Amino acid sequence: MAAEFNLCQISLKAFALQIFAIPSTRWPHPGGTCYPVCSTSIRTPGMISEIPCVDIRSGASSVSDPDIASALDQALATHGFCYIQGHDVDASRISQILEVNHTFHALSEEEKRELAVNRFHRGYIGKDESQTVTSSVKPATQPNQSESFMVMQPVSADHPRWGSAIFGPNQWPDTLIPEFRMTCLDYFNVMQTLAYGLTQRLGVALGLGPDAFTKWFTEPTLFLRLLRYPALSTSDHRDQFGSAPHTDHGFLTLVAQDATNGLEVQTSEGRWISVPPLDNAFVLNVADMLSVISGGRWASTPHRVVLNQRERYSVAFFFDPNFDAAIYPMLPADPPNREGLQVHYGEYLMERFDKNCLYRDA
């Protein structure tokens, strides 16, 4: 049985450095040769990305399709990131969620403050209200310049955990933006369906089968984050970012971007490479829990958002395990000192919130 990992016995930063550092070695796919499904280099005007693209052909391919599994493994073992196309999420839904994102952030500061994030991590988080001190790359010295609106999975008042941790009510600008709630929940539902399917495909990509992770997702932890990054100002500190270098805390993240660049990923050599917007594609990245499950085969790769001459909008969907999930490696761990690791997802999540989110001190 895996030994329980006690977050009280080691700092979160030390844990992240040990478990989620980008490996210097890459592994062959457990099933053999890798088969890229679409172009491995994405070209947009004036920009080239080294991040691969995988067409998952939702609705036309089995979740056990070996070619798609190999392409996912190759991309994630190399970068921890890839673009996802062929996902069956209608382009109009992506446009609508980005539109309400714009609409919300166009509200006055006073109106947004009426929906200030509550203790359940739901609501508006303003500029300068988070700082990535738990970064495994370099602890942030300046607050993040982004502002965002957080929606999580609906929880009923009779839930056994109601009133604790993340288990509380969402907040909505119903009188200000009547269509906001319906647009968010519609997008939330289609993204949850996509993420479930990807979870099955990732199990196949690791050679474990489509149902390998089911036990951890009977009541998944879900976040929808509507983000705005301001345009670069001449007064900005040189160490200020839209989002400082970090890794994500959960299982997988799916990001829809507008037409503005800013997202960057760190390579195993320490270079930062751009992840430019690609029409009707999501950016998928491995998060900390999935990296543990993969035994380190797939790194939870550091990434950041840099500011530029235009403001930027994006929508991130985080698909994470049950709050009480005990996460452990399902493949042989590398390095071997990861063997026996077990992480309580909820404790790990709440420690990150407590250290990085300034509202937790209020």
Residue 330 lies in a domain: yes
Tokens of 281: 């594609």
Residue 229 lies in a domain: yes
What's the pLDDT at 337?
A: 60
**Identity (one letter) of the amino acid at 250?**
G
Q: Which of 285, 296, 284, 286 lies closest to 328 in space, CA to CA? A: 296
Average pLDDT, integer, range 336-351: 84
CA–CA gap between residue 322 and residue 319 (Å, rounded): 10
Give residues with Cβ within 8 angstroms of 329, minimum separation 6: 292, 293, 294, 295, 296, 338, 339, 341
Q: DSSP for 338-360, please give it.
A: GTT--EEHHHHHHHHHHHHBGGG
Residue 357 lies in a domain: yes
CA–CA gap between residue 157 and residue 168 (Å, rounded): 8
Residue 320 lies in a domain: yes
Residue 352 lies in a domain: yes
What's the pLDDT at 196?
A: 97
Residue 244 lies in a domain: yes
The boundaries of the domain holding residue 88 are 7-361
**Number of Cα atoms under 13 Å in the Cβ half of residue 322:** 12
pLDDT one-digit tens code per residue, 49-102: 689 999 999 889 999 999 999 999 999 999 999 999 999 999 999 999 999 999
How many structural domains comprise the chain?
1
338 — pLDDT class (breaks 50, 70, 90) = low
Q: Which of 67, 7, 58, 353 lies closest to 205 in space, CA to CA? A: 67
CA–CA gap between residue 342 and residue 351 (Å, rounded): 16
In the chain the first and final C-alpha atoms are separated, in Å, by 40
CA–CA gap between residue 149 and residue 49 (Å, rounded): 28
Q: Which of 187, 177, 116 lies closest to 149 in space, CA to CA? A: 116
CA–CA gap between residue 334 and residue 349 (Å, rounded): 23
Residue 2 lies in a domain: no
- Bridge-based pairing of strands 53-55 and 81-85 is parallel
Q: Which residue did the predictor score with more confidence, 320 or 28?
A: 320
What's the pLDDT at 115?
A: 97
CATH number at residue 128: 2.60.120.330
What's the pLDDT at 89?
A: 97
22 — pLDDT class (breaks 50, 70, 90) = very low
Residue 16 lies in a domain: yes
Tokens of 124: 């508006």
Give the mean pLDDT of the chain.
84
What's the pLDDT at 56?
A: 97
- H or E segment and range at residue 43: strand 42-44
pLDDT one-digit tens code per residue, 177-236: 999 999 999 999 999 999 999 999 999 999 999 999 999 999 999 999 999 999 987 655
